[in-house]
Amino acid sequence: MQIEFDLGNPGYTLLHRAGLAGLWMTLKQLQREVPIENRPERFRWETDTDDLVVAHRRFTLQWENNDLAVIDWFLRWSFQIADGLIYLKALDSTNMRIESQVIVHQGILGTLLQHNSTHKATGIQEKSFLLDDDKPPVLVKYKSLQSYVYQDFAKNLCDKKGNWLKKPITVAGWLNPGAAVKHIAFSSSTSFEEIPEQAFILLFAPVACYYFLLRSTLRDKRAQYALIIPEVTDLEKYANYRQNPHLREASYKDFFASGLGDAGLRFLTYETTAELANKFGLERCQVLTLGTVAWASQQKTRTDLYVVEASEEVCENYQLCCNWFSR
């Protein structure tokens, strides 16, 4: 089996490109940890060019046989659980400080996996984090998980014989926010479909995305968490940015933002504007919120969306404001 992925695919949205970056990061971690002889059916990936610009935008995924067994193994390796927390192998998140691990865990559960049907919890855990030296620790509660949907999604990508599907599949809102069935009475007409290859890369979007907890009292329960979707133009450059110590080692205090614009600019201003564009190939991101709305209180809906661009002027003004209000 061979599947080619290309960042320039015209059918990709920002979320697909983020998913491709997440898959790239996961495969690089696999390469570091698991020799090819220890992988099922010689599961591997490769670029077919010496041109680094092209090589960082396009690659091929290959394996010999047994599609279902291979993909099931890879997804279960990629999406694990450690001490009740979501453990993303691509981020090597168990080696991150515990606060950063909780940020990733709560961020994913607060955005993509809000619905209880997407995960199985074993209870509530508590951690104490110090936000300010002159204030008492903050008690943080989060769900301790037993499993979540990314781990066993392989069966949705293959037919009953275990072969990779050749036709589109229906995707749920947790895989592609905003792509949920619009009306339950007309499910067949209003459901959203993806070809298996594109559904597969969407699974890895949580790896490349980032998360913030919105503390604005104006939003109430409609939008508690912000999901940051980067505009990825170079897979390797973005992988380096997502592994930036500022993101990997963020404190729980860094998890808060006052709104969508603040969340997007926080994410885009960990480095200078010049480094963002030249070193990391990152100039803008999309910020969205998912929450409860009055006409569909039984499900989580995309409630807001904002595009943030990291121009030099915008970033400079934002930093000045941050410095002023943090006095």
pLDDT in tens, 269-280: 876 666 776 678
Higher pLDDT, 315 or 125: 125
The number of domains in the chain is: 1
Confidence of residue 252 (pLDDT cuts 50, 70, 90): confident
Taking residue 66's Cβ as centre, other Cβ atoms within 10 Å add up to 16
Confidence of residue 320 (pLDDT cuts 50, 70, 90): confident
Q: Which of 148, 145, 99, 97 is nearest to 122 (CA)?
A: 145
Confidence of residue 49 (pLDDT cuts 50, 70, 90): low
Percent of the chain with pLDDT over 90: 55
Mean pLDDT of the region 55-76: 95
Taking residue 39's Cβ as centre, other Cβ atoms within 10 Å add up to 17
Mean pLDDT of the region 94-117: 91
Mean pLDDT of the chain: 86
Q: Which of 71, 49, 302, 45 is nearest to 173 (CA)?
A: 302
Confidence of residue 51 (pLDDT cuts 50, 70, 90): low
What is the residue range of 92's domain? Answer: 2-325
Q: Flag the least confident range among 69-83, 214-228, 290-304.
A: 290-304
pLDDT at 196 exceeding the cut of 50:
yes
pLDDT at 296 exceeding the cut of 80:
no
pLDDT at 233 exceeding the cut of 70:
yes
What token pair was written down for 63? 């394996």
pLDDT at 318 exceeding the cut of 60:
yes
Mean pLDDT of the region 57-65: 94
Give the per-residue SS3 of the chain: CEEEEECCCCCCCHHHHHHHHHHHHHHHHHHHHCCHHHCHHHCEEECCCCCHHHHCCEEEEECCCCHHHHHHHHHHHHEEEECCEEEEHHHCHHHCCHHHHHHHHHHHHHCCCCCHHHEEEEEEEEEEECCCCCCCCEEEEEEEEEEEHHHHCHHHHECCCCCECCCCEEECCCCCCCCCCCCHHHHHHHCEEECHHHHHHHCCHHHHCEEEEECCCCCHHHCCEEEEEECCCCHHHHHHHHCCHHHHCCCHHHHEECCHHHHHHHHHCCCCHHHHHHCCCCCEEEEEEEEEECCEEEEEEEEEEEEEECCHHHHHHHHHHHHHHCC
CA distance 175 to 182: 15
The residue with tokens 């990061």 is 25
pLDDT at 286 exceeding the cut of 50:
yes
Q: Which of 10, 3, 24, 2 is nearest to 197 (CA)?
A: 3
pTM of the model: 0.90
Higher pLDDT, 243 or 181: 243
pLDDT in tens, 127-181: 998 877 778 888 999 999 999 999 999 999 999 999 999 999 999 889 988 665 5
Percent of the chain with pLDDT over 70: 85
Query: Are the beta carbons of 304 and 223 closer than 8 angstroms?
Result: yes
pLDDT at 27 exceeding the cut of 60:
yes
pLDDT at 132: 76
Pairing of strands 256-257, 210-214: parallel
pLDDT at 73 exceeding the cut of 70:
yes
Higher pLDDT, 313 or 184: 313
pLDDT at 205 exceeding the cut of 80:
yes
Confidence of residue 186 (pLDDT cuts 50, 70, 90): very low
